[in-house]
Amino acid sequence: MKSVRENPFFFAAFAIWLILGAVWLFSFETGDAILFWSAHRSAFGNFFFRHVTRLGEGMAYFAVIFLAIWFRYRYAILISAMGLTVLAAANAAKAIFAQPRPAAFLRDSGRLDDINLVDGVDVHFGLSSFPSGHSMGAFALFAILAFLIPYKRLPALVFFLLALAVAISRIYLVQHFFKDVYAGSIFGVFIALAFWSYSQRFPLDTPTWYNKGLS
């Protein structure tokens, strides 16, 4: 696929994540990642993951859309449409799979008291664990940003690491299992690829309104 060939650094990092993630899924039991992070809490980790998780939320999209308007309206439209698609897809998938959140799963198995929860974080107990919407949103957003920028090396890796940090934060904060964030990352990148591929049908050099920006 052309989009993959044009973004080798992002997709190389993503491929490593997919491989290592698959190894984890086949090697460990459900909840082991949560138990690991519960045993390795730190003041820095609590602060970092409580804040970085917000990069998978709507405010991150609004900020990027606002910046995109200054460059090209088409980018703002692209990211807006993609964000709405991520939201709809995540909610639909959660309703279809209806998997219990980690807190509910651990409570029912009598292990919730073994978890060291992060102060100030309200854990969810509903049937909305799979997939992780934050992970979908973060991987979609940062993948599309990696596709947009002209410099593909360090920025692309930084964008990937930010998306990965959001995914890890969902496990650290006891909101999702590893399988939830792993699937969310795949869905998110797939959605970003679909929107990016479709946007390439519209040339950048035509003097149309959507190729302009406020700047």
For residues 104-114, average pLDDT: 91
For residues 94-118, average pLDDT: 94
Does residue 95 surpass a pLDDT of 80? yes
Give the SS3 label for residue 36: helix
pLDDT at 153: 80
pLDDT at 213: 87
pLDDT at 3: 77
pLDDT at 150: 76
Give me the residue label for tokens 């979908």.
136
Helix 178-199 with 154-172: angle, nearest 10 deg:
140
pLDDT bracket for residue 206 (50, 70, 90): confident
pLDDT tens-digit readout, 117-152:
999 999 999 999 999 999 999 999 999 999 998 767
**From CA 149, how far away is CA 29, in angstroms rounded?**
39
Contact 125, 199 (CB under 8 A): no
pLDDT at 42: 96
pLDDT tens-digit readout, 44-91:
999 999 999 999 999 999 999 999 999 999 999 999 999 999 999 999
